[in-house]
């Protein structure tokens, strides 16, 4: 485990394990690199070097008052990639992390990137607009902001139910997953989390997706209650120059943790 200091003096925490072709995992909101533990173990055991960072304002990284925006997240990622001198890199981004991966390529290109995997990812745009009628109304994101600002601990705990689909008939609740999510969320910055809501909901990543000129795998759950598939994956795969869509039928937003063996094999097959 280590840290880097970015150009604006922010400390970014990361884990860097194993050897081989590097895979860099980018986590969702409001989590940390620990969300990828199962994948890091699996891919590390399968001959890959695995890296996961905590986005600024999240996890063990610094909690600056400013700079909690997607352009800065992408530039932080670029600094980490350059300082570790990662090449032939595989980028895997979940949810907000998918936006981070897309914006990194939009701003810094694919000279160091071999492949991309977007998982339950927010691109191209989550917000409902006249041009994006499949999106989610702004009132939903306003409620997320309010919950984060006023009742963050309870809000994060409640959020685990739709995040993992434990609110669906017949679902088996996993208290450990709920507690893991809550612990990661509460380790982060309330200001960073509050600011980030805008970045995953109202930022348009269409032009970034167009610049992902390497093979890109889009994995999404058909029953994702957090990032509905019609406004995200189904549109993203049509924008990506070399995109392929894999749908997990009945899959939820946290599908990598709910179905780790299926998810890991799906990604491993893509990389092979």
Q: Of these residues, 95, 189, 201, 232, which one is catalytic?
A: 95
Annotated catalytic residue 232: no
Q: Of these residues, 26, 61, 224, 232, which one is catalytic?
A: 224
Query: What is the predicted pLDDT for the residue at 231?
Result: 95
Of the candidates 58, 145, 86, 117, which has an alpha carbon nearest to the alpha carbon of residue 244? 117
Report the CATH number of the 2-271 domain.
Answer: 3.40.50.1820
Q: Average pLDDT, stretch 134-154?
A: 98
Q: Of these residues, 53, 94, 193, 253, which one is catalytic?
A: 253
> Is pLDDT above 90 for 17?
yes
Annotated catalytic residue 224: yes
What pLDDT, in 10s, does the model give residues 28-77? 999 999 999 999 999 999 999 999 999 999 999 999 999 999 999 999 99
**Residue ranges of the domains in the chain?**
2-271
Query: What is the predicted pLDDT for the residue at 196?
Result: 98
Report the predicted TM-score, pTM, of the whole model to 2 decimal places: 0.98
What pLDDT, in 10s, does the model give residues 76-131? 999 999 999 999 999 999 999 999 999 999 999 999 999 999 999 999 999 999 99
Annotated catalytic residue 253: yes
Query: What is the predicted pLDDT for the residue at 1?
Result: 78
Query: What is the predicted pLDDT for the residue at 239?
Result: 98
> Is pLDDT above 90 for 188?
yes
């Amino acid at each position: 485990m280590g840290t880097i200091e970015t150009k604006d003096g922010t400390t970014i925490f990361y884990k860097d394990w194993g050897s081989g072709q590097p895979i860099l995992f980018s986590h969702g909101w409001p989590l940390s690199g620990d969300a990828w533990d199962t994948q890091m173990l699996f891919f590390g055991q399968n001959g890959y070097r695995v890296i996961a960072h905590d986005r600024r304002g999240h996890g063990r990284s610094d909690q600056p008052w400013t700079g909690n925006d997607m352009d800065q997240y992408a530039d932080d990622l670029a600094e980490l990639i350059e300082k570790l001198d990662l090449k032939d890199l595989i980028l895997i981004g979940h949810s907000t992390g998918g936006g981070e991966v897309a914006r990194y390529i939009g701003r810094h290109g694919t000279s160091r990137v071999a492949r991309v995997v977007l998982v339950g990812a927010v691109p191209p745009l989550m917000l409902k607009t006249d041009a994006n009628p499949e999106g989610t109304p702004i009132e939903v994101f306003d409620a997320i902001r309010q919950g984060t600002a006023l009742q963050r601990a309870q809000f994060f705990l409640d959020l685990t139910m739709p995040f993992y689909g434990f609110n669906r008939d017949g679902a088996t609740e996993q208290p450990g997953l709920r507690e893991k999510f809550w612990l990661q969320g509460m380790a982060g910055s309330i200001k960073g989390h509050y600011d980030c809501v805008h970045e995953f909901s109202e930022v348009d990543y269409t032009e970034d997706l167009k610049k992902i000129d390497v093979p890109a795998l889009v994995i999404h759950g058909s029953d994702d209650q957090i990032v509905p598939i019609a406004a995200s994956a189904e549109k993203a795969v049509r924008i990506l120059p070399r995109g392929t869509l894999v749908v997990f039928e009945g899959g939820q937003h946290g599908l990598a943790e709910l179905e780790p063996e299926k998810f890991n094999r799906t990604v491993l097959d893509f990389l092979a």
